[in-house]
């Protein structure tokens, strides 16, 4: 007499045939009919329970291993420092100077979320980022200790960026301001040169008019000056 109806037996045998020898996690599973008898059934149940526990443990260990491999401190694709607890007056230039002074490596990008108290600093590789986090965490910036940790997003593979130039020192003009200042000086020199050339042309023209014309210009100018002085004396008298 069959233990189960023939349809169930066929389904069970089909499941055994399909699953026996398959891999579950890093273990190969074995499927077969349960052994008859009370004691053997208990032994089989104990063995099955142990196998299930081993599989679960392997799954847990594999998940932990994969989680450790994907963690930012172990994944070379993570190259960004998250900087928290920033004072409101901290700008991108201030944050750039702060991390540049740490000397951890080449900085490719600096961003500050104004009004939110945090920002990001991206380095050229994973090792430099780790050093910046270790060196910068807890240091005082704007009267507050900054909190440095790994950014929550990895850099896509193949992404390349040029390092930023060194930041300008406090109180020193930026490159754009310096160029504008130099341009203004050049334009002022050009205007002075043109005024000087125009004055020379007028002088040469006056000399070409002859002595008589020069004398008439002098006399007219002298008379105008004398009349002006006489009017001022009359006003003072009255």
Residue pair 97/136 in contact (Cβ under 8 Å)? The answer is no
Mean pLDDT, the chain, rounded, equals: 76
- At residue 183, does pLDDT exceed 70? yes
pLDDT band at 1 (very low <50, low <70, confident <90, very high): very low
- Asked if residues 162 and 108 have their Cβ atoms less than 8 Å apart, the reply is yes
- The pTM assigned to this predicted structure is 0.48
What span, in angstroms and rounded, lies between the C-alpha atoms of 69 and 88? 36
CATH number at residue 133: 3.30.70.330
- Kindly state whether residue 22 falls inside one of the protein's structural domains: no
Residue 128 lies in a domain: yes
Range of the domain at 88: 80-150
Residue 133 inside a domain? The answer is: yes
Residue 236's pLDDT is 47
Domain count for the chain, please give it. 1
Q: Please, are residues 237 and 231 in contact by the beta-carbon 8 Å criterion?
A: no
Residue 92 located in a structural domain: yes
Q: What is the pLDDT of residues 124-155, one digit of tens each?
A: 999 999 999 999 999 999 999 999 999 999 99
Is 36 a residue whose pLDDT tops 50?
yes
In a domain, 234, yes or no: no
pLDDT of residue 57: 62
Does position 101 have pLDDT exceeding 50, yes or no?
Answer: yes
Higher pLDDT, 66 or 79: 79
> Does the pLDDT of residue 188 top 90, yes or no?
no
């Amino acid at each position: 007499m069959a233990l189960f109806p023939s349809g169930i037996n066929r389904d069970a045998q089909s499941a055994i045939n399909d699953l026996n020898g398959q891999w579950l996690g890093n273990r190969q599973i074995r499927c077969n009919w349960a052994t008859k008898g009370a004691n053997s059934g208990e032994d089989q149940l104990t063995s099955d329970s142990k196998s299930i526990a081993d599989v679960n443990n392997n799954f847990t260990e594999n998940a932990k291993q994969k989680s450790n491999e994907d963690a930012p401190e172990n994944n070379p694709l993570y190259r960004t420092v998250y900087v928290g607890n920033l004072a409101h007056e901290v700008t991108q230039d201030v944050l750039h100077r702060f991390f540049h002074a740490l000397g951890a490596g080449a900085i490719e990008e600096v961003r500050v979320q104004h009004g939110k108290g945090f920002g990001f600093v991206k380095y050229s590789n994973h090792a430099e980022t780790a050093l910046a986090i270790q060196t910068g965490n807890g240091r005082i910036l704007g009267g507050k200790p900054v909190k440095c940790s790994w950014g929550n997003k990895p850099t896509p593979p193949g992404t390349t960026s040029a390092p930023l130039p060194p930041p300008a020192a406090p109180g020193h003009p930026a490159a754009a301001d310096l160029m504008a200042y130099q341009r203004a000086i050049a334009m002022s020199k050009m205007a002075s040169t043109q005024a000087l050339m125009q004055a020379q042309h007028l002088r040469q023209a006056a000399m070409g008019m002859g002595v008589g014309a020069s004398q008439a210009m002098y006399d007219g100018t002298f008379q105008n000056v004398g009349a002006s002085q006489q009017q001022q004396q009359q006003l003072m008298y009255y």
